[in-house]
């Protein structure tokens, strides 16, 4: 049994990405999944001056260590104006300053959703291209479109999307095992 860490890159208390992530995490079988909220940790706005003056914040080190304790990650990526949220980008900036290879040997499943037809696909693609710089390997990704139309009562109401999620989870689980 492998250990999988799941978190959303959103700082919204009503994050649809966190809701979808919770649903997907509950569907993983045969592995231990830990779901955290990054908002429970203090990530001040990154600046080189702040880092020089105060060093790496303790909460950043804590999250880096939590990531290190897991074999794989599921990350839900939210989108603001066609790219990742400044909150998530800031978290990545701090974590990469704490350890350039903070994702070393981590297998990653990326998911994204929005109420739009593209399902935050731009943010997903950006994140897919960035995470390998920090040692991670994105083994699967899934963009879930039109969240409000397709997900209600903690259930996927579109059979094709539900089958797509199942395919992605099967592939990811097999990759995590190997």
Amino acid 173: pLDDT: 95
Reported as a single tens digit per residue, the pLDDT across 5-23 is: 999 999 999 999 999 999 9
What integer pLDDT is reported at residue 178 of this predicted model? 84
| Mean pLDDT confidence for 148-165 | 96
pLDDT tens, 72-126?
999 999 999 999 999 999 999 999 999 999 999 999 999 999 999 999 999 999 9
- Which pTM value belongs to this model? 0.96
Least Cα distance to 173 among 125, 109, 95, 104 occurs for: 109
Residue 34: which pLDDT band, with cuts at 50, 70 and 90? very high
Average pLDDT, the chain: 96
CA atoms within 13 A on the CB side of 26: 9
pLDDT for res 74: 98
Contacts of 110 (CB under 8 A, 6+ apart): 74, 75, 76, 77, 124, 127, 128, 131, 138, 140, 141, 142
**Per-residue model confidence (pLDDT) at position 32:** 97
């Amino acid at each position: 049994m492998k250990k999988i860490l799941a978190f959303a890159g959103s700082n919204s208390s009503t994050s649809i990405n966190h809701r979808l992530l919770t649903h997907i995490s509950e569907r993983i079988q045969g592995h231990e999944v830990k779901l955290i909220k990054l908002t429970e940790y203090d990530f001040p706005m990154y600046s080189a001056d702040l880092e020089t003056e105060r060093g790496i914040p303790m909460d950043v080190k804590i999250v880096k260590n939590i990531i290190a304790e897991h074999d794989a990650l599921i990350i839900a990526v939210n989108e603001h104006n066609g790219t990742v949220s400044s909150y998530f980008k800031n978290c990545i900036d701090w974590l990469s300053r704490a350890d350039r290879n903070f994702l070393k040997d981590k297998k990653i499943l990326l998911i994204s959703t929005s109420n739009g037809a593209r399902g935050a696909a731009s943010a997903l693609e950006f994140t897919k291209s960035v995470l390998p710089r920090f040692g991670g390997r994105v083994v699967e990704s899934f963009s879930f479109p039109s969240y409000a139309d397709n997900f209600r009562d903690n259930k996927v109401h579109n059979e094709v999307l539900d089958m797509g999620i199942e395919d992605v989870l099967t592939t990811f689980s097999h990759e995590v095992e190997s």
